[in-house]
């Protein structure tokens, strides 16, 4: 810029005026400046401008994994709103490692991003307190944070699970299994809660053997599914498309593909091309991204007031697998004496309860 001023024989400020399109420059002067800019190939350094201005017109998005379609979709929705607001978007993945989340968020804050949208690796965000105090806006998406003062969007995972299980119950199922992540996992926890609530609402028992809480590896899910089948469930609710895929594989291998009902949490491409088509409760990651970004830019526009909580709903999409009727376990592999034994245990328990 200095060079341009020198070349055009004007003051620095005049160049600045032309570059910023401020009025109050004679056409003749502006022309000279523009010629100099052209001649010297001048390109304003945005970072320098922003240093002076105090804003950076950039925001950061931190998710579990940008290579996961769910988060890719969320990222894209965020990006569109970021662009509409004239900002640029940094993205980063944590792989659910809270240490990595922290490092990323702090690095972004050191660049003085205007705001941050974070899908928390875990709930603890004390490390962000000083940054927020220093003026960074933060919005949490998809999972809860301990920072009550920040805006947040959550999905109605629990409601989705309830819908799924209620759907199965409506189709005559009583023995419904739940297949999902380990207890430490936030989503798995909420889905299981929804499952339990729906069962309870229908006054159905939820046998412990009907809940398979395992990491999404081929072996573990396969075994867990077989366990559910051994426990004579007539339907399964699977908590995530990885689980759904592996559930379908196990059902096929066991020759029960069209007989055991299945509702999956999370939609996926080609779900309607499987046989039967897979009924799912679809999340809406794009909507979540949109809402999060909108909350963020409201704050950046100066909105004060208490933290906002938004919720994104889920939607059940029937495709066949969730509408299979309950198959009575008439020819159950369970020996008659086991059934009788189980029944008598249940009777005894009820008798004991009523007696106490």
Partner DNA sequence: CTGAAAGCGCTTACAG
Interacting residues with DNA (CB under 7 A): 1-2, 10-14, 16-17, 19-20, 23-26, 28-29, 42-45, 48-49, 51-54
Selected range binding a second copy among 19-27, 87-95, 217-225, 323-331, rule: CB under 8 A: 87-95
The alpha carbon of 305 is separated from its chain's Cα centroid by a whole number of angstroms, namely 26
Nearer to DNA, 112 or 308 (CB): 112
131 contacts which partner out of a second copy, DNA, none, CB within 5 to 8 A by kind? a second copy
Nearer to DNA, 136 or 248 (CB): 136
State which of positions 115-144 bind a second copy (CB under 8 A): 130-131, 133-134
What whole-number distance in Å separates Cα of residue 57 and Cα of residue 46? 10
Nearer to a second copy, 144 or 277 (CB): 277
- List the structure tokens of 203: 């006054």
Minimum separation from the CB atom of position 130 to a second copy (A) = 5
* Residues β-bridged to residue 138: 116
Rg of the chain (C-alpha set)? 28
C-alpha dist (Å) from residue 60 to 107, 111, 178: 10, 10, 36
Nearer to DNA, 16 or 98 (CB): 16
Whether 74 contacts 141, CB under 8 Å: yes
State which of positions 36-75 bind a second copy (CB under 8 A): 41, 43-48, 50-51, 56, 58, 65-69, 71-73, 75
Residue 98 near a second copy by CB under 8 A: no
Nearer to a second copy, 179 or 326 (CB): 179
Residue 30 near a second copy by CB under 8 A: no
Burial of 271 (0-12, 13-18, 19+ CB in 10 A): buried
Nearer to DNA, 25 or 166 (CB): 25
What whole-number distance in Å separates Cα of residue 321 and Cα of residue 324? 6
Query: Among 7, 127, 186, 268, which residue interacts with a second copy (rule: CB under 8 A)?
Result: 268
Q: Which of 98, 100, 92, 99 is nearest to 71 (CA)?
A: 92
- Residue 173, helix vs strand vs coil: coil
HSE of 287, CA atoms in CB hemisphere, 13 A: 12
What is the enclosing helix (H) or strand (E) of 213? strand 211-213
Positions touching a second copy (CB under 8 A) are 41, 43-48, 50-51, 56, 58, 65-69, 71-73, 75-77, 79, 83, 88-93, 107-112, 130-131, 133-134, 241, 245, 248-249, 252, 268-271, 273-275, 286
């Amino acid at each position: 810029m200095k060079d341009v001023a020198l070349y055009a024989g004007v003051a620095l400020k005049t160049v600045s005026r032309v570059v910023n399109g401020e009025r109050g420059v004679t056409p003749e002067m502006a022309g000279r400046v523009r010629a100099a800019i052209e001649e010297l190939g001048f390109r304003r350094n945005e970072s320098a401008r922003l240093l002076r201005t105090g804003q950076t017109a950039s925001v950061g998005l931190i998710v579990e994994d940008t290579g996961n379609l769910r988060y890719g979709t969320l990222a894209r929705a965020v990006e569109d709103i970021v662009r509409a607001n004239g900002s640029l978007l940094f993205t980063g993945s944590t792989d659910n490692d809270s240490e990595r989340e922290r490092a990323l968020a702090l690095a972004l804050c050191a660049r003085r991003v205007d705001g941050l949208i974070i899908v928390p690796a875990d709930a603890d965000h004390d490390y962000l307190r000083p940054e927020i105090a220093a003026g960074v806006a933060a919005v949490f998406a998809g999972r809860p944070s301990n920072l009550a003062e920040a805006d947040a969007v959550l999905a109605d995972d629990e409601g989705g699970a309830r819908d799924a299980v209620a759907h199965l119950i409506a189709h005559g199922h009583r023995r419904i299994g739940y297949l999902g992540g380990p207890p430490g996992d936030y989503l798995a926890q909420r889905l299981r809660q929804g499952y339990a609530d729906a069962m309870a609402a229908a006054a159905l028992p939820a046998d412990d053997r009907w809940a398979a809480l395992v990491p999404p590896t081929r072996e573990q899910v396969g075994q867990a599914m077989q366990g559910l089948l051994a426990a004579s469930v007539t339907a399964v609710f699977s908590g995530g498309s990885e689980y759904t895929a592996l559930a379908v594989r196990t059902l096929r291998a066991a020759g029960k593909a069209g007989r055991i009902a299945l509702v999956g949490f999370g939609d996926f491409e080609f779900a309607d091309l499987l046989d039967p088509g897979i009924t799912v409760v679809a999340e809406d990651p794009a909507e979540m991204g949109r809402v999060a970004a909108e909350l963020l830019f409201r704050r950046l526009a100066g909105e004060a007031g208490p933290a906002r909580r938004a919720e994104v709903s889920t939607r059940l999409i029937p495709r066949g697998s969730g509408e299979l009727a309950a198959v009575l376990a008439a020819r159950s592999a369970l020996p008659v004496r086991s059934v009788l034994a189980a029944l008598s245990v249940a009777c005894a328990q009820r008798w004991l309860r009523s007696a106490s």
